[in-house]
Structure 1
Amino acid sequence: MSERDGTAGHVDCHVKVLDDGVVERATRAGLDVIVYAPHFTRLPEIRERAETYSSEDLLVVPGREVFTGSWHDRKHVLALGLEEPVPDFIPLEAAMAEFERQDATVLAPHPEFTTVGLEESDVERYGDLIDAIEVFNPKHLPPHNRRARDIAERAELPPFTSSYAHLPRTVGVSHTAFDTAIETETDLLSALEDDIGRRVVYENGVGRWTTTATELAHLVYENTWKKADRLFLSGIEPTHPRHIAYDGRFEDDAVY
């Protein structure tokens, strides 16, 4: 990974984990910012946790990776700058309409990856709302990353990368280096929306492939035993559109 320089804002644009160890690892990697967007966690809780772990050395920005559609046909969209919570398990068009209403910053993580990324046709349809496309993800194999870069280039949308860390050890293995300092959440949203110059930075040695293997193994776990637990044992998700927290606003949009 490149050395940190004072003229750039080094941002891991998407992590799922956050604790003291994650903060230490991110700081050691020379990051200025991480975007914290855990699964199935409501926005107020994400905001509170992000604020708790932010410091002068590391800004933690809250985000929501919304699961649109059903478990069997879901597409992830990462939204920053939300003012109001948006649930999972609503159609893609409903989520995008809500992001537009709130003037959120919208990112397309891992496009066309397994069954959880936006298709190129979705990117074409919502290109005016999407601010950047992830072109490198440590979970990806090289063909996935090449496909993501091609989609971004054809859509003429700016790139970004993240560690997409579901495991603490992955934080910081890839990040986006913006050609401007990022000191506040507003700075980050502006950099993403205004197409500020940036570099995609990632490790490309043995450590990178170890990360890919461990994160893919975790993905298998998430989509087997952990998925079964969520679907059949745990009851209604905190981010389900019929949860009481949403005051019935999204009940008609719920896909199940």
Structure 2
Amino acid sequence: MFRVDPHVKLLGERVAERAKRRGLDALVYAPHFTRLPEIRARARRFSDEDLVVVPGREVFTGTWRNRRHVLMLGLSEPVPDFITLRGAMAELRRQDGVGLVPHPEFATVSLSTDEIQRHREGLHAVETYNPKHRRQHNDRARAIARETGLPAFGSSYAHLRGTVGEVWTEVDAPLRGRESIVQAFREGTDRRVFHRDGPAHALRRHVEFAHLGYENTWQKLDRVFLSGAEPTHPHNVAYEGRFDDVAVY
């Protein structure tokens, strides 16, 4: 069995060491508002024979008040934030990337069941366990996976180092390297979702949930509305105007 945490937001020496101590074979590193070349470089830096780090992008589609997140793997070219969901999914399909559904129907940032069905062709799995979820959210996520027929995955969704290794997805295949991990999600390779339990895990969940309030207020308001120079803004010069027709800002 190959253990992967398919969604973490931070990466460094201590994160990599913690992942190894927790028995993980791989992480998917997908920080917010960071361009793909930078993510790739950092993923390479912290990959070694004991831990594979896969670069990913959790793309913010739609406006700030009506945004939908899509976790993208296997991209060949950068995709910006704040473009329409339709535009993002069209680009994902053009690149033959892998689309994962993080925290479905959670708060105001997640794909609904109808949206998943509408873009089913480009989506490959639904997250059924996320530490930021309450029990009813995880129950609903499992129901969504059944209703849509998509395979499940679970991730730590770690925004804080201590959450790395709290949740993982075991893939029933001897994976080797980034490409094989992406391909396993693309092909729907058999997998199971596991998470730690007990008081320590409950505490980590509460801490991550508390962080959610900060993350979605002043921290991002400052970056989105005050700085005006996000590297993943669709009008950034790096995208050469390719996404101007689907930009929402």
TM-score grouping bracket, smaller chain normalisation: over 0.9
Query: Residue 30 of structure 2 corresponds to which residue in structure 1?
Result: 37
Q: Percent identity of the aligned residues? A: 55
**Aligned match of 1:138 in 123, 131, 134?**
131
Query: Residue 61 of structure 2 corresponds to which residue in structure 1?
Result: 68
Query: Residue 108 of structure 2 corresponds to which residue in structure 1?
Result: 115
- Cα drift, residue 129 of structure 1: 1.5
CA contact (8 A) 1:110 1:148 kept: yes
Query: Residue 166 of structure 1 corresponds to which residue in structure 2?
Result: 159
**TM-score normalized by the length of structure 1:** 0.95
CA–CA distance in structure 2, aligned partners of residues 232 and 179 of structure 1: 44
2:179 is equivalent to residue 179 of structure 1: no
Query: Residue 5 of structure 1 corresponds to which residue in structure 2?
Result: none
CA contact (8 A) 1:32 1:182 kept: no
CA–CA distance in structure 1, aligned partners of residues 228 and 42 of structure 2: 24
2:185 is equivalent to residue 192 of structure 1: yes
- Cα drift, residue 231 of structure 1: 2.9
- Cα drift, residue 244 of structure 1: 0.7
Question: Structure 2: any 5+ residue segments left out of the alignment?
Answer: none
- Cα drift, residue 227 of structure 1: 2.1
Matched AA of 1:73: N
- Cα drift, residue 232 of structure 1: 3.4
CA–CA distance in structure 2, aligned partners of residues 80 and 252 of structure 1: 23
Matched AA of 1:36: Y
CA–CA distance in structure 1, aligned partners of residues 220 and 96 of structure 2: 32
**TM-score normalized by the length of structure 2:** 0.98
SS of residue in 2 equivalent to 1:87: coil
Matched AA of 1:65: E
Question: Structure 1: any 5+ residue segments left out of the alignment?
Answer: 1-7
| Over 4 Å off, 4+ runs | none
SS of residue in 1 equivalent to 2:92: helix
CA–CA distance in structure 2, aligned partners of residues 101 and 186 of structure 1: 18
Q: Deviations over 1:190-220 (max 9, x none)?
A: 2112121111010121122111111111111
- Cα drift, residue 181 of structure 1: 1.8
Query: Residue 54 of structure 1 corresponds to which residue in structure 2?
Result: 47
**Aligned match of 2:196 in 179, 200, 203?**
203
Query: Residue 231 of structure 1 corresponds to which residue in structure 2?
Result: 224
Matched AA of 2:9: K
